[in-house]
Structure 1
Amino acid sequence: MLRSAFYKYGGHMSTVDLIATATFGLEAIVAREVKELGYSDVRVENSRVLFKADLEAIPRCNLWLRSADRVLIKVGEFQALTYEELFEGTKALPWAEWLPEDALFPVEGKSVHSKLYSVPDCQAIVKKAIVEKLKQRYHQQWFTETGPKYTIEVALLKDRATLTIDTSGAGLHKRGYRKLTSQAPLKETLAAAMINLSYWNPDRVLVDPFCGSGTIPIEAALIGLNIPPGLRRDFVSETWPQLPAVFWRNARDEGNDSIRRDVKLRIVGTDIDEAVLSMARYHRKLAGLDDQIHLQRMPVSELRNSNKYGCLICNPPYGERLGEVQQIKRLYQELREAVAPLDTWSVYVLTAFPDFEQVYGKRADRKRKLYNGRIECQFYQYFGPRPPRRELRETVMEESLP
């Protein structure tokens, strides 16, 4: 019986199995973030990071994980070759330890390479099995489902069923600052991962010459100031009786205390489109970062910067529509010409354009496959020299924003 999922005031709090879901390709980044929060029992699988932690990890992980999609509680896992096995395996799990009598518990599902391929049937069977289990605990035949929400997922992969409860609600990419969207928005979680995969640190200048609605500069500022990305939003599990308000209060206090308020960052975002720059300014304001990010209308061909050892990180247009290929090629060539004088900089470009290296005119030092939504991209990484410590200090002290 999973007593780890059950909290009693004044009692002993053990561990719970958690899953941080991740976009394919970002698992190692998410695992590193989990470990940095102090959780060591970590296992990486495709699109998810599994770890054991106490209940207070639920608010902490929701507030702090930058590149994860969601934080789930793993209730159980078992083989399910038939609907009967799915029903009995689900019913055997300790649902009453999580679901109060009035819980709202919708069931979602997915099935990959499994005999039980009908997702609606699997959802219905899991729902029925949970209801039967709750009848045993609460001694009633009908549940109103008017209370806190516990979204349950049945995930079938190669005939193994994993049953989870979502603690996040809206996906973790929804930080709360991006109210407007541009035509091709970059997910906040992916932007944070791109920054964490780069050589950028808060002592170096960062430039995004295709900043759009401001996601990369804002995520960099959140990282540079050590601001938890979820600090300005709510989570569905804040309403759960198993997670006392003091857990959330402590997690938010920890987050506020961790902010580096004495740091002045040098982050620049430029774009040729004044309309999306207006969105970026609005998002910068909502994130409370007006004094940390410089935004300016500028074509990439005019990019100049006197700072040494900076980082250029961008997600330029891909040219997916017919007739755009030549325009995109010119844009990438202009980018190469603009960064040529910045020979001590590191450059990072996320694009789905298949011939990027050929058009850009330089082979990347490293490539990494990442997904922007459902679009398969490559993250091209060009490494500049490591800055000398003394020279880096002088650069930070003497140089200013362009």
Structure 2
Amino acid sequence: MSQLDLIATVPMGLEAVVAREIRDLGYPDVTVENGRVLFKGDALAICRANLWLRTADRILVKMGQFEAHTFDELFEGTKALDWPDWIPEDAEFPVEGRSHKSQLSSVPACQGIVKKAIVEKMKLRYGTEWFAETGARYVIEVALLNDVATLTLDTTGPSLHKRGYRKLVTEAPLKETMAAAMVLLSRWRADRPLYDPFCGSGTIPIEAAMIGWNIAPGLRRSFPSEAWDTVPPELWEQAREEAYDAVQDDVPLDIVGCDIDGAAIDVALAAAKAAGLSGQLHFRVEPVAKAQPLGDYGCLITNPPYGERLGDQGEAERALRQLGKVTGLLPTWSTFVLSPDRQLEQWMGRRADKKRKLFNGRIECSLAQFLGPLPPRKP
């Protein structure tokens, strides 16, 4: 198959992180836009991107893009695309949609027009008037922005943050993609200690361990495109073999997660076991006031409780003040805190070296970065 136009959808604020991940996979032709990263690759790139991208949401195949001011333009533009090259006669092909700042503002109407146009195109190829839709699933999306329609096929299914290891969740859990992004932005490496004093269900420690051992985050799940004729099974087998060969599970890890809630620690232990990391991570019940991270040149990476998320602003302030005291006793450590609280630096008693705007779900946050010295170079 020739080069495809692919789209990685991205949580706002993480576009540059995803672009770097895609380049590291060997696909340098990358374009960054708000909420998505466009790149070119073959069918194998679909497999690799779904298995390896830690901070993206979905991988889409861009089928076409055109202006659509009227339903006739939407119908004709959709019908002109090569749907039968991708969608077999027995496929299930639902249409999803969204519209923003466009004359065609009725999403259900746009979905119906796109579905009808695809059916008409497929009638020409397959010579039938009716499609049973009992086969593999091909989810189509029509996205209208400023009267431009973009038609895509979703290769991923459930969002990439659903790794498969988290069967239980705590209150207001951090998404796996955001936890991975925090670790990647910290530039933590496996030879440094990592400590999370508000670990909750253990997402940051688990994602850090997967990064430290170079475990592809999608290895434990499946994708609807695994059943597509256009992405043959041997490509998925090749990509999975590459991923298994890349695992470095002989690297020692020094990763600790703590939380004041014993039930949360139980959830974290179960998640670590499901991720194949049982015994490699250390979880314990411990309030932040008693936190004593061990070692030098470590990274403290955390998502502390905050009022907007858990409903208690006083608790959030106390937690950050205690965290500030802990980090003040760690002169060689770097600290990374995701929080929406504008008083974070005041409560922690120090000014951040850098701040980066990120969205935890729909909550606008800052990743405050308090940078310590880098470890000495090893001879």
TM-score between the two structures when normalised by the length of structure 2: 0.98
| Corresponding position: 1:141 with 2:134 | no
Q: More displaced, 97-106 or 360-369? A: 360-369
8 A Cα contact 2:67 2:147, kept in partner: yes
Q: Which residue of 1 aligns with 2:293?
A: 305
| Aligned partner of residue 142 in structure 2, secondary structure | strand
How far 1:263 sits from its partner (Å)?
Answer: 0.4
Partner of 1:173: 161
Write out aligned runs for 1:59-208 (5 A): 59-208=47-196
Contact 2:193–2:254 (CA under 8 A) maintained in structure 1: yes
Map of 2:304 onto structure 1: 316
2:373 alignment partner in structure 1:
385
Tell me if structure 2 keeps the 8 A contact 1:199–1:311: no
| 1:399 matched residue in structure 2 | none
| Equivalent residue number for residue 283 of structure 2 | 295
Offset from partner CA, 1:80-123 (integer Å, 9 cap, x none)? 11111111100100000010001100000011111111111111
Counterpart selection for 1:251 from 198, 214, 239: 239
Check conservation: 1:308, 1:344, Cα contact below 8 A.
Answer: yes
Q: Which position in structure 2 is the counterpart of 1:55? A: 43
Runs of 4+ in 1 over 3 A off after TM superposition: none
Secondary structure of 1:137's match? Answer: helix
One-letter amino acid of the structure 2 residue matched with residue 36 of structure 1: D
| Distance apart, 1:323 and its partner CA | 7.1
C-alpha contact 2:336 2:369 (8 A) present in aligned 1 = yes
- Match of residue 330 from structure 1: 318
What is the Cα deviation at residue 208 of structure 1?
Answer: 0.4
**Partner of 2:256 in structure 1?**
268
TM-score normalized by structure 1?
Answer: 0.93
CA contact (8 A) 2:155 2:224 kept: yes
Cα distance in 2, alignment partners of residues 306 and 149 from structure 1: 50
- What secondary structure does 1:43 align onto? strand
Corresponding residue number in structure 2 for 1:367: 355
Whole-Å separation in 2 of the counterparts to 1:323 and 1:126:
43
Q: Give deviations 1:358-384, integer Å, cap 9, x for gaps.
A: 222212111111011111111100100
SS in 2 for 1:389: coil
* Structure 1 gaps, min length 5: 1-12, 394-402
User: Aligned pair 1:242/2:236, yes or no?
Assistant: no
Which residue number in structure 2 is paired with residue 3 of structure 1?
Answer: none
Q: What is the deviation of 1:258?
A: 0.1
Secondary structure in structure 1 of the residue aligned to 2:308: coil
Distance 1:46 1:136 in 2: 37
Structure 1 pair 82/323, CA: closer, same or farther in 2 (3 Å)? closer
Q: How many residues get paired?
A: 379
AA in 2 matched with 1:344 = T
> Does the CA contact (< 8 Å) of 2:62 and 2:152 recur in 1?
yes
Contact 1:23 1:68 in 2 (8 A): yes
> How many Å apart are 1:199 and its aligned residue?
3.0
1:282-314 CA-to-partner distances (Å, cap 9, x unmatched) read: 000000101321101100001112301000000
| Alpha-carbon offset, residue 322 of structure 1 | 9.2
Measure the CA separation in 1 of the matches of 2:310 and 2:28.
49
Contact kept? 2:306, 2:315, Cα under 8 Å: no
Structure 1 stretch displaced more, 194-203 or 323-332: 323-332
Percent of residue pairs identical: 60
CA RMSD, Structure 1 to Structure 2 (Å): 1.2
Partner of 1:398: none
| C-alpha distance in 1 between matches for 2:229 and 2:18 | 28
Q: In structure 1, what is the Cα distance between the partners aligned to 2:319 and 2:59? A: 39
